[in-house]
Amino acid sequence: MMSTRDKEEQEDELLALASIYEEDEFKRAESAPGGEISICLELPPNFKVIVHGDEKQNKKDLIEYVVSFLPPLVLNFELPPDYPSGSAPKYTLSCKWLFQAQLSVLCVHLDRIWKDNGNCVVLFSWMQFLKEETLSFLLIKSPLEIQGNSEKKSDGTYSNNKDKEFGSRNKPKNLKEFPLDPRAIQDVESWACVLREILDFDQNQQQKVFNSKMFTCSVCFYEKLGIDCMHFKECKHVYCKACLKEYFEIQIRDGNVQCLNCPEPKCTSIATPAQVKELVREETFARYDRLLLQSTLDLMTDVVYCPRTVCKSVVMLEPGNTMGFCPGCRYAFCALCEMAYHGISPCRLRAEKLSALRDEYLKADESGRQRLEKSYGRRVLQKAVEELCSQEWLDKNSKPCPRCGTNIQKVNGCNKMTCTGCKQYFCWLCIRPLSKVNPYSHFSDSSSPCFNELFQGIEFEAEEDFLSDEDDDGIV
C-alpha cells in the first residue's frame, strides 16, 4: 500500500523531471505513476561510425560517417506503490544501436545504483549515468563499429560475434558469457537498418540545433532564426529562405537547373532536390525536376532521344550497339546519324550534323579523333572535312547562278555575269537574271536597284583598263 511519504516523493520526482527536461526527453504517463525517458548520449567531437557488412570485407573499403548525435537510450518506467521506500522502479531499457547484451550490462548497473542509493529516489541518477557514462562504461570509442552480419535468433534478438570488455569490476569481461536481461530490448527491425536509423536521427537533431540559433543572411544581411534559414550541406554557408527562394526560382525559370549552387562567389556547393522542393512552388519544382532529369539523361552515353519530333521518347542503347528502338513509336533508328537504321552501311549525315562533327573532329586530341573515327568511320570524317572546307570556300568566294545554281567566281570585269553552265546572264550584285537581248539595261534603268553600278567595286589603274574591260563579262 502506498504511504503518504512515498506518494509525495514520487510526485516531487516526476515534477522535477518534467521541469528539467523537455517534452521530447521526458514524457509522463497519464494513467499510472511512470513515464518514458529518452537519453541522448554526449558524444566527443568528430565521433565516427563505420559498418561491417562482412567479416571478410577489406577494412580499406569501409565508409566512415561523422555524427554528432546517436539515437537515444529509452527508459520506460513505472513506479510501484512502495517506491522509493521499499521497491525499485520497474523498467525496460531499449536502444537501436546497442546489442541486447550491452543493454543487459547497463540494466545490472542501474540495479546497483538503486541499491547504493539507499532506498531514495533514483530516476535522476539513472539518467545522469546513462547520459554521461554509457560510452565509457561500455568502452565504446570512436569509431563505433556496426556489425551487420549478426545472426537473428529464435527469440528475436541478435547474437554478437565480437568480444567486448567492460570497465566495471566483478562483471564478465566477455560479452558472450553475459546473461541476457529480459528488460534489455534491442529496438530495431533488422540490423541492416541500424546505420540508416543513426544517420537519420543525427540529421534531425542537427537540424533542431540549427533551427534554434541566430544567423546573418549573406545576401540581405538580416539576422534571422535558423528555422527561417537554410544552409548548403557541403560548405555550411547560411542564407535566409526568402533570398534562396527568389534565387532558385530565377535559375529554374532560366533553365539553369544544374547551377543551383551556393551564392557565395567561387563556392561549388549544390542545393539538394529536397532543399529546392522545400522553398519553391509546386509547379516550379515540377519544371526543375523535369529539366534536371533531362540534363542528367543528356550526360549518359547509353541514353538518347527518339529523333522523331512528334515523339522524343527516352531510348536506352545496348552496350556497343548503335541501333535505337523507341518504345513509344517503335521507330528503329541509328543513334549516330538519327536516320532510319541502316545496319553496317555508312551513316548519311545531315549538313548541320556534318558541320558539328567536323568541328568536333578538328578540335579533338588524338584519342578523341580515334574515338570519333571508330564511331563514324575515318573516311566519312575526312570526306566531311574536305567537303565542308570546299563548301566554306565556295560560300566565301563564289555566288550561285540564279537559274541552274552553278557556283560562279568573279575574277575581274564588270558586274554583268554569264553562267558557264546554262549561259544565263545575271547581275553579280543582286543575283538577278538579266535580259538576253539587252543585259546592260539592268544597270542603266533608274528604277533598278543596281542603277549605274555596272562597275561598282572595280578599281581602275588606267584609262586603257577601263576601255578594255568595258565589254568583258568576267566569266568563270
Q: Which three cell numbers stand for residue 474?
A: 568576267
Instruction: Write the pLDDT tens digit of every residue in 258-299.
Output: 778 898 888 888 888 888 999 999 898 898 888 887 777 666
Asked, for residue 122, whether it belongs to a domain, the answer is yes
Claim to verify: residue 270 and residue 158 sit in the same structural domain = no
pLDDT reported for residue 245: 93
Q: How confident is the model at residue 364 (pLDDT cuts 50, 70, 90)?
A: confident
Claim to verify: residue 393 and residue 339 sit in the same structural domain = no
First to last CA, the chain: 124
Cα gap 70→467, rounded to integer Å: 101
pLDDT reported for residue 214: 94
Lowest mean pLDDT among 177-181, 225-229, 284-288, 353-357: 353-357
Claim to verify: residue 226 and residue 309 sit in the same structural domain = no
pLDDT of residue 253 exceeding 90, the answer is no
Claim to verify: residue 353 and residue 440 sit in the same structural domain = no
For residue 471, the 8-state DSSP code is: T
pLDDT reported for residue 193: 78
Claim to verify: residue 354 and residue 409 sit in the same structural domain = no
Instruction: Write the pLDDT tens digit of every residue in 61-109.
Output: 567 888 999 999 999 999 999 999 889 999 999 998 888 889 999 999 9
**CATH code (residue 274):** 3.30.40.10
pLDDT reported for residue 93: 95
Asked, for residue 207, whether it belongs to a domain, the answer is no
Q: Which three cell numbers stand for residue 470?
A: 568595258
What mean pLDDT do residues 441-469 have?
72
**Looking at per-residue confidence, does 465 or 423 come out higher?**
423
Asked, for residue 119, whether it belongs to a domain, the answer is yes
Cα gap 29→79, rounded to integer Å: 11
What mean pLDDT do residues 234-263 have?
88
Asked, for residue 141, whether it belongs to a domain, the answer is yes
Claim to verify: residue 432 and residue 453 sit in the same structural domain = yes
pLDDT reported for residue 158: 43
- The helix (H) or strand (E) run that includes residue 418 is strand 416-418
Instruction: Write the pLDDT tens digit of every residue in 336-353.
Output: 777 888 887 766 666 666
Q: What are phi and psi of 122, to 5 degrees?
A: -130, -10
The region, left, alpha or beta by phi > 0 then psi within -120 to 50, assigned to residue 46 is: left
Beta strand pairing status for 47-52 and 144-147? parallel
Claim to verify: residue 230 and residue 271 sit in the same structural domain = yes
How far lies 304's CA from each of 22, 130, 216, in Å? 55, 58, 45
CB atoms inside a 10 Å sphere around CB 347: 20
Asked, for residue 364, whether it belongs to a domain, the answer is yes
Claim to verify: residue 45 and residue 138 sit in the same structural domain = yes
Question: How many folded domains does the chain comprise?
Answer: 5
pLDDT reported for residue 177: 60
Cα gap 333→341, rounded to integer Å: 4
**Looking at per-residue confidence, does 440 or 320 come out higher?**
440
Amino acid at 110: L
- CA 459 to chain centroid, in Å, comes to 65
pLDDT of residue 112 exceeding 90, the answer is yes
Which active-site residues does the annotation give?
414
pLDDT of residue 454 exceeding 90, the answer is no
Claim to verify: residue 161 and residue 270 sit in the same structural domain = no
Claim to verify: residue 464 and residue 368 sit in the same structural domain = no
Q: DSSP string covering 350-413, please? A: -HHHHHHHHHHHHHS-HHHHHHHHHHH-HHHHHHHHHHHHHHHHHHHH-EE-TTT--EE---SS
Asked, for residue 206, whether it belongs to a domain, the answer is no
- Mean pLDDT estimate for the chain: 80
CB atoms inside a 10 Å sphere around CB 100: 22
Q: Whole domain around residue 386: which residue ranges?
A: 349-397
What mean pLDDT do residues 214-233 have?
92
